[in-house]
Chain A
Amino acid sequence: MTWPASIQQIIDEFQEIDDQFERLEVLMDFSTEVDELPVESWNESNLVRGCQSIAHIEIEIRENEVWLKAAADAKMVQGLQGILSLAVNGSSPESVLQLTPEFAEEAGILVSLTPSRSNGFRTMFDMVQDRIREAIK
């Protein structure tokens, strides 16, 4: 599958790592890529439901560009939010809606994208797209 350059770069970075432990360390490094949503802004409407950790995501569309603010108490979940931020920030709403979450599997970040209590990535990805749809309708 052909991915936008920002996502392809992430896939390449992860695919170079053989060791799963190191891969997770790199994933946690991505947590710094998040434009952090301050704790005082955490509320029910930006809460990611179904995630084992506490995670919040807000979407802003400025001059036809999507910008994400997020935070999580688990570093790996915030790492996933960092990757999501790199994938969507600065893109048009339409191009974000074209994205599919499979790049996380392709990069080997996640074994499965099946929604479950142990995997908030799919939930967060769907939430970003849902919020964009709501904002542009």
Chain B
Amino acid sequence: MKQDFPIFSREVNGRPLVYLDNAATTQKPSCVIDAMSNYYSSSNANVHRAVHTLAGEATEGYEECRKLLKKRFNSDFAVITSGTTEAINLAARAWGEYNLQPGDAVVLTEMEHHSDIVPWQMLAERIAIELRFVPVENGELDMNALDVALEGAKLVCVVHTSNVLGIRNPIEQIISKSKLVGARILIDAAQAVPHEEIDFKGLGADFLAFSAHKMCGPTGIGALLISEHAFSEMKPFMGGGDMIETVTLEGSTYQSNEHKFEAGTPRIAEGFGWAAALEWISKIDLESHHKRLLQIARDVSEQLTAKGMTVYSSLNPGDAAVVSFTHPTIHPEDFARLLDAQGIAVRTGHHCAQPLMEKLGVNGTIRASFYLYNDDSDAEIFLSGIDRVLEAMA
């Protein structure tokens, strides 16, 4: 598969690139790069307004992305955003601000990415909602504590798959429990959509947020899928062009569809690129790749443990192929730079999940995350790289 990805023809520090930072962003196949380049070289125009040919092509290409999203994820509404972060902020502003009252409870978890904590903290500052955090015990959500937190809750926001640990939460169970108390449900699916097929309507959540760039699409574009009920409860929060129906000096009316949440010129080239990525990924058997990658991650985890590392990922069935680990004495930053010197890209730090790091009792971890194009040889090079680091630091 690597031949589909031009970046793998380059070297890093004189070595072939071994890219294991996929939970941060994935590489892009040629079809995505070509789609964006072709848009700019052949169809560049603004969308939704002009009647000329280029505008028609641009609109069609951009809206094709939305069509593919709705089809792939089985959703009636797909608002295109700049990514997961903006998608969650949109839910907080356009739904939260109009449907939550002071004192209303919003349930979050200690496993959330900062993107699913800070928007709710900001909302709490504005309308004094109560934030309840479900604790993490032994790397997993405490489901008994969830039951307590759900009492009287109006909204539940939960990460589907942890970006730090790769753990897939029992999302179906969380949704059914949340529904029993009548809460709306937002799922942060940034790390889930790259690894498994998601049926939004089948899941029964109200919001699903994710980004294109973690599934071989471009950066700067993502989506918020919204249930019919939740969509009817939302109001636009960002005003401007493209989201209006009529504007007079006395007031404005808004579009009735997703466009009312997409003020201004959208990310047109990125829409073309994401559409290409969605078509490319639709031909991939995600389930069998996921099993293969999980096995690679388990083998790597076992070897790292044998080499004296502490591995925080459980790598249970359904988890993402993410191995988060620390060494007893070598600082993650030193580790990552010495791996980079060998052409191996991994991530270090708190992974935008400081509350979870605090719970794990570490300042940061080293994270190797595997994706579709990674194979056994990447794992072998990574483990040899680890050996060289251990030797140098002995």
Q: Which residues of A contact B (CB under 8 A)?
A: 19-21, 23-25, 28, 52-54, 73-77, 117-118
Cα A75 to Cα B389 in complex, Å, equals: 13
User: Does B228 sit at the interface, judged by CB under 8 A?
Assistant: no
Q: List B contacts of A76 (CB < 8 A).
A: 331, 333-334, 337
A-B pair count, CB < 8 Å, reads 39
Whether A21 contacts B341 in the complex (CB less than 8 A), given A52-B348, A52-B349, A52-B364, comes out as yes
B201 CB to closest chain A CB, in angstroms? Answer: 39
Whether A19 contacts B364 in the complex (CB less than 8 A), given A53-B331, A73-B331, A117-B349, comes out as no
A125 CB to closest chain B CB, in angstroms? Answer: 18
Task: Report whether B338 and A21 are in contact in the complex, using a CB–CB cutoff of 8 Å.
Answer: yes
Q: List B contacts of A53 (CB < 8 A).
A: 331, 333
Cα A122 to Cα B363 in complex, Å, equals: 22
Task: Report whether B334 and A75 are in contact in the complex, using a CB–CB cutoff of 8 Å.
Answer: yes
Identify the interface centre among A25, A54, A75: most chain B CB within 10 Å of its CB.
Answer: A75
Identify the interface centre among B337, B338, B348: most chain A CB within 10 Å of its CB.
Answer: B337
Partner of B13, one of A20, A25, A73: A20
User: Does B14 sit at the interface, judged by CB under 8 A?
Assistant: yes
Cα A60 to Cα B388 in complex, Å, equals: 39
Whether A20 contacts B333 in the complex (CB less than 8 A), given A25-B392, A52-B349, A52-B364, comes out as no
Cα A73 to Cα B363 in complex, Å, equals: 11
Q: List A contacts of B388 (CB < 8 A).
A: 21
B80 CB to closest chain A CB, in angstroms? Answer: 28
Cα A23 to Cα B388 in complex, Å, equals: 14
Q: List A contacts of B314 (CB < 8 A).
A: none
Task: Report whether A52 and B337 are in contact in the complex, using a CB–CB cutoff of 8 Å.
Answer: no
- Contact digits for B264-307, partner A, Cβ 8 Å, 1 yes 0 no: 00000000000000000000000000000000000000000000
Partner of A52, one of B333, B338, B342, B393: B333
Partner of A23, one of B333, B341, B363: B341
Q: List A contacts of B349 (CB < 8 A).
A: 52, 117
